[in-house]
Amino acid sequence: MRRAARVRPVATPSAGSILVVLDLVGIAVFAISGALVAVRKELDLFGVLVLAGATGLGGGFLRDVLIGATPPAALDDWRYLLVPTAAGLVTFVYHPTLGRMERLVTFFDAAGLALFCVAGALKALDYGLSPLPAALMGMTTGIGGGILRDVLAGRVPVVFRGELYATPALAGAGVAVVAHELGVTALVGTVGGAAVCLVWRLLAVRRGWQAPMPSGPASV
């Protein structure tokens, strides 16, 4: 339990500025998805910005609160506050255009999911969690923002229905955790885990893979 040595998002120190950029891209794309939901729900500018921030940062906040890494790293770094705000403002103005770039948004969303699940899992390991909970925290980091977005927007989280979303995140986090436990360097584990998540997620979108549904009618 290292509380004193507050760590920045895992990507930052271990793999340099490329990963920081990817992290911020992930936050931006998640923020755009939140802002688009807000526009569809006819929320005002403030609602758009809050849903953008909650979706972009919510998964990381949830992870940080659960593993005791408070205050969340994003509150220490102005870039992590600027990016979702800017993404929300851009979406507020250009939402018709962004709403039409569905394939691009889906791709970046998958990329954000891939990076978040790996970064989240590695940070949880860094705070002393065992492998299985760390992988679950990785998945939580990836899907938490979208769940928060949907709860705030008054709808059942889409991650609970439809296309495979959480499973690729759990798989990517699992690969990163296993690589870490085997002593593989962080870069390899990060790239490997993120690739598994990204490819799986994109295949799920393209081929319409879905999670199994309960069979038979629900009683009562």
Interacting residues with its own copies (CB under 8 A): 1, 3-4, 6, 36, 38-48, 50-51, 61, 65-68, 70-72, 75-76, 78, 81, 92, 95-96, 99-100, 127-130, 132-133, 136-137, 147, 151-157, 159-162, 164-167, 210-214, 216-220
In whole angstroms, the minimum distance from the beta carbon of 111 to its own copies comes to 21
* CA geometry: angle 171, 74, 154, nearest 5 deg: 70
> Residues 215, 161: contact at Cβ < 8 Å?
no
Both tokens of 101, joined, read: 């770039």
In whole angstroms, the minimum distance from the beta carbon of 16 to its own copies comes to 24
Pick from 37, 201, 67: nearest CA to 141: 67
Q: How many residues would you count in the chain?
A: 220
Both tokens of 27, joined, read: 């936050």
Task: Please list, in sequence order, all residues whose beta carbon lies within 8 angstroms of the beta carbon of residue 76, skipping any fewer than 6 positions away.
Answer: 6, 8
- Comparison of 16 and 160: residue with beta carbon closer to its own copies: 160
Task: Please list, in sequence order, all residues whose beta carbon lies within 8 angstroms of the beta carbon of residue 159, skipping any fewer than 6 positions away.
Answer: 143, 146, 147, 150, 165, 166
* Long-range contacts from 127-134, C-beta under 8 angstroms, 24+ separation: 127/1, 127/2, 127/67, 127/68, 127/69, 128/1, 128/2, 129/67, 131/177, 131/178, 131/181, 134/173, 134/177
In whole angstroms, the minimum distance from the beta carbon of 110 to its own copies comes to 16
Task: Please list, in sequence order, all residues whose beta carbon lies within 8 angstroms of the beta carbon of residue 66, skipping any fewer than 6 positions away.
Answer: 137, 140
- Comparison of 26 and 72: residue with beta carbon closer to its own copies: 72
- Comparison of 89 and 199: residue with beta carbon closer to its own copies: 89
In whole angstroms, the minimum distance from the beta carbon of 28 to its own copies comes to 18
In whole angstroms, the minimum distance from the beta carbon of 187 to its own copies comes to 26
- Comparison of 88 and 191: residue with beta carbon closer to its own copies: 88
- Comparison of 15 and 202: residue with beta carbon closer to its own copies: 202
In whole angstroms, the minimum distance from the beta carbon of 39 to its own copies comes to 5
- Comparison of 16 and 162: residue with beta carbon closer to its own copies: 162
